[in-house]
Structure 1
Amino acid sequence: MENKIRVIVADDHACVREGVRHLLGIIAHVSVVGEAVDTQSLAALLDSCTCDVVVTDIGMPGIDGESNAIQFLRQLLHHAPQLPVVVLTMIHQASSLLGLMQYGIAAVVDKRDITASLLHAIDAALTGQGYLSDHARAAIAAAGSPQPRAGVMSAGEWKVFTMYVSGMTISQIALRLNRSAKTISTQKRNAMRKLGLETEADVIDYACQIGLT
């Protein structure tokens, strides 16, 4: 069949890539044209392989030593906003899920919903419609109505947050970035608020979900 939907699949777990490839392989009008195990290989694939949709995890090794793919995806969508990206994730914080959509992610599929939702997500992404799988939508509904841009962090806030999660103290981050401890503390609180995180336990849980720790 001509004019197949060309999909690149990126996940650092072989079992997830195999499951997605098998699921999409039984759909006549879909073709998996490449697989990546981290953002470095995903970037290389995007440079060398034409695709219509990217299906990717975010909790996989990033470029420049980062431990997740969020910054890479933000940059990708900034430079190629027309490319539909479907994110596979286990994140369950409502504001974080909405934040992904606000970055320009076309669809978010909770990994527990892959079988039932992935093809719908791809179709929605291609037609320019936002899509949330059942578990993702339920998480947002349970949280009420987050502020419209609650999940969008600045690059500086994200950098401070990742350094904090890596084990650095506020004072150490301030020294490293040549800023005041007060500024760093404010950026860390802002990042937590925008991610929907209230406690240190929430921070640890979120960091584990997306591969920061």
Structure 2
Amino acid sequence: MENKIRVIVADDHACVRVGVRFLLEQISHVSVVGEADSTQALAELLDVCTCDVVVTDIGMPGIDGESNAIQFLRRVMHHTPHLPIVVLTMIHQPSILMGLLQHGVAAIVDKRDMTASLIHAIDAVLTGQGYLSNHARAAIAKAGTPQPRSGVMSAGEWKVFTMYVSGMTISQIAVRLNRSAKTISTQKRNAMRKLGLETEADVIDYACQIGLT
């Protein structure tokens, strides 16, 4: 087949990238055109390498001190909505998975389903369809019908949230950002609500799953 599907693979674990490349190279209509081990490397690759699909983890080191790839992927999906993003992850928290879909991620493949589902996910997103692998679908279904969120986090709310889960107190964040503790506390609560997190235990679980801690 002359017109192969061009895929960029991004994951900070070399063994995962090797596994994905090996899997995709067994398919005649797919070609891996680039690999990245960090968000910065993925950003640079997207600037110089034309692709049809990005297959990426979200727990990679981020840009400008960010500790995961979510914010960068949000920017990619905003500026290039025609480029499908397939998230390959071990995350199983329903609120996180639903949040990814609401941000515009085209497909989510649990790494445990990679062999059976990744090719199907790539083919699906190129025809404009969404895709959830079995474990991802089961995780979302287990939580029942998700409650609507009150919008998407602002950059300020996300910054406060990431500073908080890194171990800083509300007061320390307020001093660092030159804002009142009341404002910081409100932004932190807003971020939790928009992520579907209700308790401090939920915050810790979320942070661990996406590589914030």
TM-score range normalised by the length of the shorter chain: over 0.9
TM-score for the superposition, normalised by structure 1: 0.95
Aligned partner letter, 1:116: A
Aligned partner letter, 1:102: Q
Equivalent position SS for 1:55:
strand
* 1:183 corresponds to: 183
Deviation at 1:193, TM superposition (A): 2.5
Deviations for 1:159-211, whole angstroms, at most 9, x for unmatched residues?
A: 11100011110011112222221221122122222223233222222212111
Deviation at 1:62, TM superposition (A): 0.8
* 1:166 corresponds to: 166
Task: Note if contact 2:149-2:196 (Cα within 8 Å) is conserved in structure 1.
Answer: no
Report the number of matched residues: 213
* 1:120 corresponds to: 120
* 2:140 corresponds to: 140
Equivalent position SS for 2:64:
helix
Deviation at 1:20, TM superposition (A): 0.5
Aligned partner letter, 2:92: H
Deviation at 1:120, TM superposition (A): 1.1
Task: Note if contact 2:106-2:131 (Cα within 8 Å) is conserved in structure 1.
Answer: yes
Higher mean C-alpha displacement, 173-182 vs 145-154: 145-154
Two-structure CA RMSD over aligned residues (Å): 1.4
CA distance in 1, matches of 2:157, 2:40: 23
Task: Note if contact 1:98-1:151 (Cα within 8 Å) is conserved in structure 2.
Answer: no
Relative distance call for 1:125 and 1:206 in structure 2 (3 A) is same
- Mapping of residues 24-35 of structure 1, within 5 Å: 24-35=24-35
Equivalent position SS for 2:40:
helix
CA distance in 2, matches of 1:151, 1:202: 19
* 2:193 corresponds to: 193
Task: Note if contact 1:99-1:151 (Cα within 8 Å) is conserved in structure 2.
Answer: no
Which blocks of at least 5 consecutive residues in structure 1 are unaligned? none
Which blocks of at least 5 consecutive residues in structure 2 are unaligned? none
Task: Note if contact 2:8-2:35 (Cα within 8 Å) is conserved in structure 1.
Answer: yes
Task: Note if contact 1:37-1:60 (Cα within 8 Å) is conserved in structure 2.
Answer: yes
Aligned partner letter, 2:90: M
CA distance in 2, matches of 1:94, 1:151: 17
Task: Note if contact 1:74-1:103 (Cα within 8 Å) is conserved in structure 2.
Answer: yes
Higher mean C-alpha displacement, 131-140 vs 68-77: 131-140
Aligned partner letter, 1:133: S
Deviations for 1:20-50, whole angstroms, at most 9, x for unmatched residues?
A: 1111110110000100000111111111111
Task: Note if contact 2:52-2:83 (Cα within 8 Å) is conserved in structure 1.
Answer: yes
Aligned partner letter, 1:201: A
* % identical aligned pairs: 85
CA distance in 2, matches of 1:150, 1:134: 28
CA distance in 2, matches of 1:133, 1:193: 26
Deviations for 1:49-105, whole angstroms, at most 9, x for unmatched residues?
A: 111000000000111111100111011111111101101112222122111111111
